[in-house]
Structure 1
Amino acid sequence: MSYGLVVIGGGAAGLSAARTATARGVRALMVSEGPPGGECTFTGCVPSKALIEAAAHGADFSAAMGRVRSAVSRIAATEDESVLAGEGIEVLRERASFLAPNRIEVGGRVLSAPRVVVATGGGPRLPDIPGLAEAGPLTTDDVFTLTEPPESLAVLGAGPVGCELAQALARLGVAVTVVERRDRLLPGEDAEASRVIAERFAREGVTVRTGVSATGVSREAGRWRVEVGDGAPVVAERILVAAGRTPGTQGMGLAEAGVELDERGCVRTSDRLATTSPSAVYAAGDVTGRIALTHAAHLMGRVAAANALRRGRGTRFDDAVIPRVAFTDPEVAQVGLTEHEAAQRHPGSRVAYLPMSEVDRAVAAGRTDGFVRIVAGPRPFLGHTGGGRVLGATIVGERAGELVHEIALAMRTGMFAGRLAQTVHAYPTHAIAVQQAAAQFVMEYAGRRARSARHGDHPS
């Protein structure tokens, strides 16, 4: 059987790559050990957001897990083998390994593969902590299969996944302690955003231990004792590890294909997502180590497949305008540059800041935690005319994950920052916060005017 494109992996990147090929009239084969949909559908985005929503609306643990199973089932049914077959994509539920740059063994069959996209994703990373493996820690691979809530839980890692699950499970009645080796929650995000989430966690009874590392795990009186730096240990019934992911590159024969890995074990790719293979082998998604986000993987799948199928240099993967969201309550959303980054890279940048406590809808809803911070820089020859060029934004608050896309569109289209202020927003909405903040780039609004971007972390 001859295929125009072989895709290894059935997650967001793999699905996107295969669908891109069929849209171009190319016969595509998807090889995946697990069901189509991958981590996002079964152990990531879908179940976690279903759990978060259920917990936020007061469901008990059993009902919340039922909602998780229902959501996963409904979404998985939209991308299973029969659906993909109807789209012209053949799926083989097998493991694939390279024999040569253009030959792949799949379930005992050897296939010719002149064009390949590797999209095998990754899995939870277990840190090398003495005694941790013996504790049978939970990860995103199995936390959603729990049938009973643990009485207490130690969460190792305070990135988006750790914070989302910590808050949701605490709302479902679990006594949660979060341990993070860096000095704050959400260490990859805006420092003020971290403070907002830390304050909310404190109000909701989530214990936070930052700036300390877990150094050992042992059994104590029917619980697990986690040694934490020089301080008091954390004792909990179960441990949940949310300490990042490892790329799915083992046992694939990548060396036989001439595909090199970087120091993290991720597939090394060019800006067009080509690997180092002498053949047309591309890679997309988490396996590249670029951005571990489903929507980024979807974009990478499209770019990788399109470049594998076309002659010439192809299209660059541009990650400058890819938003990210931590689905805590309140949500934390970021796109483009932070204030600190803008101050470093674009001298003369300015910042508009608006606390949610000054947004009427947030006040009416009693949801005033958070803020909008938009960064704009001068344009060549025009300077700050029209408010300048939008460089990025951090939004913390109710529906921040929805509000951030208006900023992403402004960045993608090269919009003047003042256009955000000129666009009429319905009142009273959460989104009007974007308009009110952007107005500061062209005038004083409610006593506020855009100020110069500063290095470091600033509260306003």
Structure 2
Amino acid sequence: MSTQEIDVVVLGAGPAGENVADRVVRAGLSVAIVESERAGGECSYWACIPSKALLRPVELRAAADRMPGVREVLDGSGDGSVDADAVLARRDEFVHHFDDSSQADWIGSTGALLVRGRGRLSGERRVEVDHDDGTTTSLAATRAVVVATGSVPTMPPVNGIHDVGAWTNREATGAPRVPGSMIILGGGAVGCELATAWRRLGSSVTLVQHGERLLPTMEPAAGERVLSSLRDDGVDVRLGTSVSAVRRDGSTVHATLDDGGEVTADEFVVAAGRRPGTRGVGLDTVGMRDGDVLPVDDTTLVTGVDGEWLYAVGDCTDRAKLTHMGKYQARACADVIVARSKGETAMLGGRYAKTATTAERTAVTQVVFTDPQVAAVGLTERAARDAGLDVESVSYDIGSTAGGSLQADGYSGLATIVVDRERRVVVGATLVGQDVTDMLHAATVMVVGEVPLERLWHAVPSFPTMSEVWLRLLESYGL
């Protein structure tokens, strides 16, 4: 077996891997990107893109029902119904009917080489790719190997879970029809989004959450408002319990709960977390354990591996597991690899040096596309206090602004900022309500830029928009 030399080998052609490859190629290095499934990765086919394609139509219908002059020209049912077949057809268009040829063509257009097969480390700077036809390609990276293999769903220790045809996010976002009923295990972002989409598309949904609230890593008010909305939609939300056993009897799944109850449905959906997609990647050849989370330093180098050649980005690392954060890491990773190839000192590259720690650890952004939407950046009040900060939390009703009241009849929304009293800067913000997602970036700039409150006072929001809430929050704080 001959060995092909190439500057950089990237394992995984998802958003993070693609961004590394594109940026490195544009700097003049050669790149091979290895993918065993579809070019474009989880986000493009089974996660971010299809889930939002399912959610946007039902979100628009709910918004229309809140707007006089619009709701009257709909079907008059007032039940929030949509044409489910049309929604699923549009979802299929967004995932290109699971054909990745356009993504593969884009990779080729960048100058990177797409290698189809299962890539694995075989030693320092060495990667072997096993192809479906039984052949193997050997690659030698002269500069770096980047692991960008993402994450896979975690299957909790539930008796019978492997025998009932349990769905993960893949089956749940790619279903060809609306199930009559489903049980969703997990009340985080994925579980809440799936419950919102499928209930409004016509499925009967039971959501089981082991904790006492939904969206447990976010501000409590966010989970409370999403809980209220789901229940108003008719979702049977069970808090403080979990599923101990499942069995399938013909077409029906029977789920036994920890509290002794039983729930039945057509499908059983697991949305209870994810683990790094590093099994079978050959970590044992570089002194690590198969399936490990990859710890990285602020240059995205995998710690504990000598030689400054093994990098990792995205969900397989110990950093924030979100597509946009993986792409951010990828840009930093590419800049570091290029700088080191030129013999330059590389500490996250010039543009990342000052803000990387903030962006990665204290200013992570997240949006949950439920109704109400939840958009957050930085620290919650509790997380800030746990970090030893002296903070004050301030909230304001978005519906009390002119922009909010114009946005929808009976607009219900809440904006919260967490202020570091000593430095007088915003360290966290959470927005809950219809159409709040595009307001998040303003908060992100506040947090990442550590903009003093006194300066924010002069960032005058346009009237009448919902952004007026930023002024009201400052006034409530006392400026």
Q: Write the deviation string for residues 172-199 of structure 1: whole angstroms up to 9, x where unpaired.
A: 1111010011111111111111111111
Tell whether 2:429 aligns with 1:429: no
Tell whether 2:158 aligns with 1:129: yes
Structure-1 separation of matches of 2:419 and 2:124: 46
**Alignment correspondent of 2:417:** 374
Structure-2 separation of matches of 1:302 and 1:291: 15
Identity of aligned residues (%): 30
Structure-1 separation of matches of 2:377 and 2:247: 41
Mapped contact 2:241–2:258 kept (Cα < 8 A): yes
The more displaced of 179-188 and 70-79 is 70-79
Mapped contact 2:9–2:33 kept (Cα < 8 A): yes
- 1:165-176 paired onto structure 2 within 5 Å: 165-176=194-205
Letter in 1 for 2:469: A
Structure-1 separation of matches of 2:258 and 2:437: 35
Tell whether 2:242 aligns with 1:218: no
Tell whether 2:141 aligns with 1:113: yes
Mapped contact 1:120–1:249 kept (Cα < 8 A): yes
Alignment partner of 1:46: what SS?
helix
- 1:87-236 paired onto structure 2 within 5 Å: 87-107=110-130, 108-114=136-142, 115-220=144-249, 222-236=251-265
1:31 to 34, 38, 49: 34
Structure-1 separation of matches of 2:292 and 2:237: 31
Tell whether 2:466 aligns with 1:439: no
Q: Write the deviation string for residues 147-169 of structure 1: whole angstroms up to 9, x where unpaired.
A: 22211110000100000010110
1:415 to 451, 468, 472: 451
Tell whether 2:395 aligns with 1:360: no
Q: Structure 1 residues 79, 442: CA separation in 2 closer, same or farther (over 3 Å shift)? A: farther
Structure 2: which 5+ residue stretches go unaligned? 62-80, 131-135
Mapped contact 1:346–1:377 kept (Cα < 8 A): no
**Number of residue equivalences:** 434
Letter in 2 for 1:36: A
Letter in 2 for 1:48: S
1:9 to 5, 8, 12: 12
Q: TM-score, normalised by structure 1?
A: 0.89
Structure-2 separation of matches of 1:134 and 1:344: 42
**Alignment correspondent of 1:53:** 56
Q: TM-score, normalised by structure 2?
A: 0.85
Alignment partner of 2:95: what SS?
helix
Structure-2 separation of matches of 1:111 and 1:49: 37
Letter in 2 for 1:67: R
The more displaced of 252-261 and 272-281 is 252-261
Letter in 2 for 1:325: V
Q: CA deviation at 1:407?
A: 1.1
Tell whether 2:91 aligns with 1:68: yes
1:343 to 354, 362, 385: 385
1:270 to 297, 302, 305: 297
Alignment partner of 1:300: what SS?
helix
Could you say what the CA RMSD is over the residues aligned between the two structures, in angstroms?
Answer: 2.2
Alignment partner of 2:170: what SS?
coil
Alignment partner of 2:56: what SS?
helix
**Alignment correspondent of 2:78:** none
Q: CA deviation at 1:348?
A: 4.1
Structure 1: which 5+ residue stretches go unaligned? 381-387, 444-460
Tell whether 2:429 aligns with 1:393: yes
Mapped contact 2:403–2:467 kept (Cα < 8 A): no
**Alignment correspondent of 2:133:** none
**Alignment correspondent of 1:455:** none
Alignment partner of 2:471: what SS?
helix
Q: Structure 1 residues 416, 402: CA separation in 2 closer, same or farther (over 3 Å shift)? A: same
Q: Write the deviation string for residues 72-120 of structure 1: whole angstroms up to 9, x where unpaired.
A: 2299879612222221111111111111111111241211113111000
Mapped contact 2:186–2:207 kept (Cα < 8 A): yes
- 1:236-247 paired onto structure 2 within 5 Å: 236-247=265-276
